[in-house]
Amino acid sequence: MELDATDRRILTVLQKEGRITNAELSERVNLSPSACHRRVQRLEAEGWIAGYVALLDARRLGRPTTVFVEITLQGQADELLDAFERAVQRVPDILECHLMAGTADYLLKVVAQDTEDFARIHRQHLARLPGVQTMHSSFALRTVFKTTALPV
């Protein structure tokens, strides 16, 4: 089913305020609470809403350092890609892994305490990933803008 303007308003609010009550949400999108609740349930059931999460503060958790790691593999065989993708999911310090088009095969987003901690992550995990030919790491100096909200 396609999204209408009301669905889009609901999704926009929920992306930024996932803990909003149904009563508050219904007021914000100009629906009755029961109609709003039904729409949210439908959006969840149809997969428009994939889940709800708490976004944690990396600094408070002692992980203020973000490192982007470009990985090039030794080849492109399905077995090698599958082995790499399975292994990378087991590294708790990796927040994201993207299969890329371009110079690198994969782009990883890694969080660490500091450069020393990243060296540990590199030694214990990244250097042991299957099929890695080259690895280039870039440290983020400052996050200028960050959002989890998709345009709806």
The answer to the question of residue 56 being in a domain is: no
**Whether the Cβ atoms of residue 139 and residue 83 lie closer than 8 Å to each other:** no
Q: State pLDDT tens for residues 122-152.
A: 999 999 999 999 999 999 999 999 999 999 9
**Whether the Cβ atoms of residue 74 and residue 132 lie closer than 8 Å to each other:** yes
The answer to the question of residue 10 being in a domain is: yes
The whole domain housing 107 covers 65-139
**pTM for this model (two decimals):** 0.90
Look up the CATH number of the domain holding residue 78. 3.30.70.920
Q: Is 68 helix (H, G, I), strand (E, B) or coil?
A: strand
**Whether the Cβ atoms of residue 130 and residue 85 lie closer than 8 Å to each other:** no
Look up the CATH number of the domain holding residue 36. 1.10.10.10
